[in-house]
Amino acid sequence: MLILVLNAGSSSLKFNLLDMATEETLADGIAERIGMSEGFVRWTIQGEKGRLELDMNGHKKALATIMEQLQKTVLTGERKVQAVGHRVVHGGPNFGEPEKITPAVLAEIEELVFYAPLHNPACASGIRTAQELFPGVPQVAVFDTAFHHSMPDYAYTYGLPYELSQKLGLRRYGFHGTSHRYVADRTALLLGQHLETLKIVTCHLGNGSSITAVKHGRSKDTSMGMTPVEGVIMGTRCGNVDAGVLTTVMEQEGLDAKGLSNLLNKKSGLLGISGVSSDCREIEEAMGKNKQAHLAFEVLCYGVLKHIGGYAAAMNGVDAITFTAGIGENSSAVRSWVCKRLSFLGVKLDEDLNTRRSKADRLISTPDSTVKVAVIPTNEELMIARETLRLTAK
Ligand code: ADP
């Protein structure tokens, strides 16, 4: 079965085409600058890279362009897209599982724009576009928030008036659920143990970062909240900030809600502290001679450290710590900074293994480390394709 996985952003559309007989990725790529000038689509199809410069006025033009390339190469003869899986950022309080898309499900995704004003309208537009281009082909929505539905109420409740929280749905939902679930599964495989017996802290550290306590295969707590701004500092997002700071900044700088949101989402985090870059690689390159870059690096690492410590307490123990996503998979410096400070838990990092480059799932702790440390490349697209297959094969 051939499954197309789509991840629609406000000005981008990522795609992956997977053959589920082998779980092999036949093609992937991205259309960028949709609705802007200087748009382009780039792809890798069966190992061959390609790129096309063209302006796209919406997701429809982007997807049609992607399909043209696929039809010239992999989708020939009888080979057709048999199901489409969509990454949907916010599933709100009701979606705790992936859903086959019906008119009612699509309407509810559109209603959730309140929680994710940037993301959910784009996801809905991606779904409508795919429905137009693939009439009759089953479509599935896989929610970033769904894995965290197992959090207990004391982990997701904010210290705000209860009635207000109930009225507006103010609570922690968590994100990157597909990734946390995937790497937790892979960690259990790597350790040769059942997921249901393990306590794992999964650290998804990329441009957006979140950390999750996965106890016996279920999310018990996670660092992101109602929106993806909460938690550790990120590329340009601030992570945890005293709420009192926000009212002060609004008053002192004369910011309205939009201005404040822009500050917290686009100008903070690694970029805001360092003044150098939102990109962790560039921070690491600069930090030898730039104090603010060094500070940004340490604020990120310290945030990760505190979450791991907190989640070890929340789960009454920890068997494994897993790093994933751009920073988690590639930054031996971040992993080393954090793990050195976890010796009280019995974490012992093998620095040689930590600095060795590899794309494979791997352990980087010493054999006598009581807590295992793993690096697992995430694969959200494969997870979305598996869920799409599961729901459409029924
Ligand atoms: P996204 O959240 O957009 O999917 P990624 O998971 O691709 O992002 O992560 C991007 C981040 O990973 C960037 O901050 C980038 O600098 C960082 N990164 C990638 N490679 C390295 C590396 N070798 N060392 C440190 N950071 C890296």
Ligand 1 pocket, mutate which of 277, 330, 335 (most atoms under 8 A from CB): 330
Provide the token pair at 210.
């979140």
Q: Which atom of ligand 1 is nearest to the CA of 278?
A: 14
Q: What is the pTM of this model?
A: 0.96
Q: How far is the CA of 383 from the centre of ligand 1 (A)?
A: 20
Residue 235 CB–ligand 1 contact under 6 Å: yes
Chain mean pLDDT for the chain = 96
Work out the average pLDDT over 345-374: 97
Q: How far is the CA of 236 from the centre of ligand 1 (A)?
A: 13
Radius of gyration of the chain (CA): 21
Pick left, alpha or beta for residue 269 (phi over 0 → left; psi -120 to 50 → alpha; otherwise beta).
left
pLDDT of residue 195: 98
DSSP per-residue string spanning 230-295: SSS--SS---S--HHHHHHHHHHHT--HHHHHHHHHHS-HHHHHHSS-S-HHHHHHHTTT-HHHHH
pLDDT in tens, 126-138: 999 999 999 999 9
pLDDT in tens, 308-336: 999 999 999 999 999 999 999 999 999 99
Residue 287 CB–ligand 1 contact under 6 Å: no
Q: Which atom of ligand 1 is nearest to the CA of 325?
A: 6
Residue 330 CB–ligand 1 contact under 6 Å: yes
Instruction: Report whether pLDDT(70) > 70.
Output: yes
115 pLDDT band (50/70/90 cuts)?
confident
Ramachandran angles phi, psi of 241, nearest 5°: -140, 140
List 19, 28, 55, 144, catalytic entry: 144
Q: How far is the CA of 375 from the centre of ligand 1 (A)?
A: 14
Residue 331 CB–ligand 1 contact under 6 Å: yes
Assess whether 144 carries a catalytic annotation: yes
pLDDT of residue 394: 66
What H or E segment, with its residue span, contains residue 31?
A: strand 24-32
Strand 83-88 and strand 139-143: pairing?
parallel
Question: Can you tell me the distance from the alpha carbon of 176 to that of 183, in angstroms, rounded to the nearest whole number?
Answer: 11
Residue 327 CB–ligand 1 contact under 6 Å: yes
